[in-house]
């Protein structure tokens, strides 16, 4: 007779034992929200969803999964955009949302320590309480968790000043696949004893360990912060070719961004939205017309510091080529009104279909040409499909363009592949800030050298020899 402890009864009993029956969800209705990703492009049924309360329970869950060779998908806020946070082949979902406490937040020391399931917004509120900021921000702040942001090495809107998540990271605690707990939580800026655990885990997308605590460096809250939304026209404004208008206005935006960085202190954000995205956002949200309503694109710039940057900004924009109109916000509500045109792109795009979200970095000198060439390349890859829409926007200060393709079926990769190829040919990256997940996994072999991939595989095998952590994510299968 089969040993019941080796079968489903055995692992369910072990998981129940680890987190308690109330936090071990098998009911399809209760599991549903953990099984589909934010884009609705990826997902599948979970074997079970477990919701541990602390590091010790995470360790017990992983020990049980390792013992029974069960795949585990760590999940934070499930706002990831590359399909890495949801099950694909009946894995166990390990939700971190109950690990939601800010443990300490010290403005003088400049450090925040929090559990991995803490939302970005909760951590930002804690930092504000000590007149500090995290130096990282993104529109999914109310749901995205610090653990998920470490795992994806999230970027966001302040990268040009403060870097991505790995640059904010002062340490972490992580549970390995066999339940081993490793921690480096001192937050010391200088600490050269051995391998850098936090940097190894940052960007590993849940494939090397489950982050349970995070230490972040804080920056002092500035006294002044000003946002401007600047309408732009390119030299090709009157061209009948929409791609030429995109190319030429991108060139104008890049030149203005460079000028602003030279002339204005404390530039924290440089974001670009185009005419089509702006129209879609207005349609989906009902926002009023932006400044320069007939512009080809808009550059959103934010500057902050100990002195009011408004004068510097105005001087820098005056006489700048291509500027049509500008709106300035110098207090929270006015700034939020301007940011809405940019931040609400993601939700607006989701209203017209299931997007293929391609998150790319281009060298700045290649960005305008790429922006003008990408739409025809997508159309060619799809054999001229008429029902395809392409909506672009991005963090133009660091060369990060978000190309959203709506139309192809979720599993149709023809357009994705064509765009990835264009990016690698131009010396860019196929994942700027969202990670690889499952969405880009099969293209990693073209984006990384064989030696580089071999290092990744050896690290993975050393830390997760049974291959239970987020199987199928990040690393392409070996053929
Ligand atoms: P999840 O989606 O739950 O997981 C993401 C990945 O991390 C998965 O592979 C998962 O397995 C792994 N993971 C999660 N938690 C842990 C953990 N504790 N330990 C180990 N692995 C873990 N991203 C940007 O970079 N910049 C942006 O500007 C940005 N804006 C966004 C705006 C919107 C409206 C939305 C919906 C998303 C946006 N994102 C952005 C994407 C997303 O918010 C980030 O990738 C974020 O870091 C994901 O955090 P999460 O907690 O939701 O992680
Ligand atoms: C953003 O910059 O808003 C995000 O990365 C989300 C997205 O790409 O839609
Ligand atoms: Zn982004």
Distance of CA 466 from the midpoint of ligand 3 (Å): 33
Give residue 5's pLDDT: 57
Give the pLDDT band of residue 478 (cuts 50, 70, 90): confident
Mutate to test the pocket of ligand 1, among 85, 205, 300, 302 (most ligand atoms within 8 A of CB): 85
**Residue closest by Cα to atom 27 of ligand 1:** 156
Distance of CA 138 from the midpoint of ligand 2 (Å): 8
Give residue 477's pLDDT: 84
Query: What are the contacts of 65-68 at 24+ separation with CB within 8 A?
Result: 65/11, 65/15, 65/92, 65/177, 65/468, 66/177, 66/178, 66/179, 66/466, 66/468, 67/14, 68/6, 68/10, 68/11, 68/14
Length of the chain: 479
Mutate to test the pocket of ligand 2, among 157, 281, 345 (most ligand atoms within 8 A of CB): 345
Distance of CA 157 from the midpoint of ligand 3 (Å): 7
Query: What tokens does 89 get?
Result: 């082949």
Give the pLDDT band of residue 166 (cuts 50, 70, 90): very high
Q: Tell me the pLDDT tens digit for each residue of 223-241.
A: 999 999 999 999 888 899 9
The answer to whether residue 172 scores a pLDDT higher than 90 is: yes
The DSSP code for 375 is H
With b for 16 or more beta-carbon neighbours within 10 A and e for fewer, the 25-42 pattern comes to: beeeeebeebbebbbebb
Distance of CA 372 from the midpoint of ligand 2 (Å): 20
Distance of CA 133 from the midpoint of ligand 3 (Å): 19
Q: At CA 393, angle to CA 389 and CA 398, rounded to 5? A: 145
What is the position in ligand 2's atom list of the atom closest to the CA of 395? 2
55 membership: H or E segment, kind and range: helix 55-67
Question: Which ligand is nearest the CA of 392, by number?
Answer: 2
Mean pLDDT, rounded, for 66-90: 97
Strands 210-217 and 111-115: antiparallel
* CA 103 – CA 305 distance, rounded (Å): 28
Give residue 263's pLDDT: 97
Verify whether ligand 1 is closer than 6 Å to residue 206 (CB atom): yes
Mean pLDDT, rounded, for 165-192: 97
Distance of CA 292 from the midpoint of ligand 3 (Å): 24
- pTM value is 0.97
- State what percent of residues in the chain have pLDDT above 70: 99
Give residue 237's pLDDT: 85
* CA 368 – CA 16 distance, rounded (Å): 54
What is the position in ligand 2's atom list of the atom closest to the CA of 346? 9
- State what percent of residues in the chain have pLDDT above 90: 95
279 membership: H or E segment, kind and range: helix 275-285
Instruction: Give the residue among 363, 345, 292 at the shortest CA–CA distance from 322.
Output: 292
Distance of CA 26 from the midpoint of ligand 1 (Å): 24
- Based on its alpha-carbon atoms, the radius of gyration of the chain, rounded to whole angstroms, reads 23
* CA 341 – CA 232 distance, rounded (Å): 15
Question: Which ligand is nearest the CA of 144, by number?
Answer: 1
Give residue 6's pLDDT: 66
Query: What tokens does 52 get?
Result: 């541990």
Distance of CA 346 from the midpoint of ligand 2 (Å): 6
What is the overall mean pLDDT for the chain? 96
Contacts of 341 (CB under 8 A, 6+ apart): 229, 273, 278, 281, 287, 290, 298, 300
Mean pLDDT, rounded, for 439-449: 95
The answer to whether residue 1 scores a pLDDT higher than 70 is: no
Question: Which ligand is nearest the CA of 404, by number?
Answer: 2
Mean pLDDT, rounded, for 107-126: 98
The answer to whether residue 364 scores a pLDDT higher than 90 is: yes
Verify whether ligand 2 is closer than 6 Å to residue 357 (CB atom): yes
Distance of CA 112 from the midpoint of ligand 3 (Å): 24
Mean pLDDT, rounded, for 144-161: 98
Strands 219-220 and 181-184: unpaired
Instruction: Give the residue among 438, 369, 421 at the shortest CA–CA distance from 399.
Output: 369
* CA 294 – CA 460 distance, rounded (Å): 51
Verify whether ligand 1 is closer than 6 Å to residue 470 (CB atom): yes
Verify whether ligand 2 is closer than 6 Å to residue 273 (CB atom): no
Give residue 2's pLDDT: 42
Verify whether ligand 2 is closer than 6 Å to residue 342 (CB atom): no
- Do residues 361 and 397 touch, judged by C-beta distance below 8 A? no
Q: What are phi and psi of 142, to 5 degrees?
A: -75, -20
First to last CA, the chain: 37
């Amino acid at each position: 007779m089969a040993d019941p402890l080796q079968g489903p009864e055995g692992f369910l009993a072990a998981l129940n034992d680890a987190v308690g029956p109330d936090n071990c969800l098998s009911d399809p209705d209760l599991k549903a929200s953990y099984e589909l990703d934010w884009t609705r492009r990826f997902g599948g049924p979970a074997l079970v969803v477990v919701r541990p309360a602390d590091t010790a329970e995470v360790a017990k869950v992983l020990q049980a999964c390792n013992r029974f060779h069960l795949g585990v998908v760590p999940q934070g806020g499930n706002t990831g955009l590359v399909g890495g946070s949801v099950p694909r082949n009946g894995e166990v979902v390990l939700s971190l949302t109950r690990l939601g406490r800010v443990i300490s937040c010290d403005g003088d020391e400049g450090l925040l320590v929090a559990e991995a399931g803490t939302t970005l917004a909760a951590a930002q509120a804690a930092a504000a309480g000590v007149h500090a900021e995290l130096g990282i921000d993104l529109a999914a702040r109310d749901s995205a968790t610090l653990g998920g942001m470490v795992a994806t090495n999230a970027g966001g809107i302040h990268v040009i000043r403060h870097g991505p998540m790995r640059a904010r990271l002062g340490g972490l605690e992580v549970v390995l696949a066999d339940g081993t707990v490793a921690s480096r939580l001192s937050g010391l800026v200088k600490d050269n004893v051995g391998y850098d655990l936090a940097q190894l885990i940052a960007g590993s997308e849940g494939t090397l360990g489950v982050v349970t605590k995070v230490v972040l460096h804080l920056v002092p809250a500035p006294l002044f912060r000003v946002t401007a939304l600047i309408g732009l026209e390119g030299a090709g404004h009157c061209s009948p070719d929409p791609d030429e208008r995109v190319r030429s206005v991108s060139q104008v935006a890049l030149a203005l961004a460079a000028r602003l960085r030279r002339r204005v202190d404390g530039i924290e954000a440089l974001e670009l939205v185009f005419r089509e995205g702006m129209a879609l956002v207005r349609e989906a949200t009902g926002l009023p017309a932006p400044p320069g309503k007939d512009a080809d694109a808009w550059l959103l710039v934010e500057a902050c510091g100990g002195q009011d940057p408004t004068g510097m900004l105005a001087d820098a924009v005056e006489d700048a080529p291509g500027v049509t109109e500008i709106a300035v916000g110098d207090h929270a509500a006015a700034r939020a009104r301007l940011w809405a045109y940019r931040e609400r792109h993601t939700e607006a795009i989701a209203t017209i279909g299931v997007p293929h979200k391609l998150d790319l970095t281009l060298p700045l000198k290649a960005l305008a040409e790429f922006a003008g060439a990408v739409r025809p390349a997508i159309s060619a890859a799809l054999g001229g499909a008429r029902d395809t829409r392409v909506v672009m926007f991005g963090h133009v200060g660091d060369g990060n363009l978000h190309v959203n393709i709506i139309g192809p079926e979720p599993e149709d990769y023809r357009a994705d592949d064509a765009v990835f190829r264009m990016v690698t040919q131009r010396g860019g990256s196929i994942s700027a800030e969202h990670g690889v997940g499952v969405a880009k996994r099969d293209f990693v072999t073209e984006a990384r050298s064989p030696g580089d991939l071999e290092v990744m595989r050896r690290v993975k095998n050393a830390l997760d020899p049974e291959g239970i952590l987020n199987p199928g994510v990040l690393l392409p299968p070996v053929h």
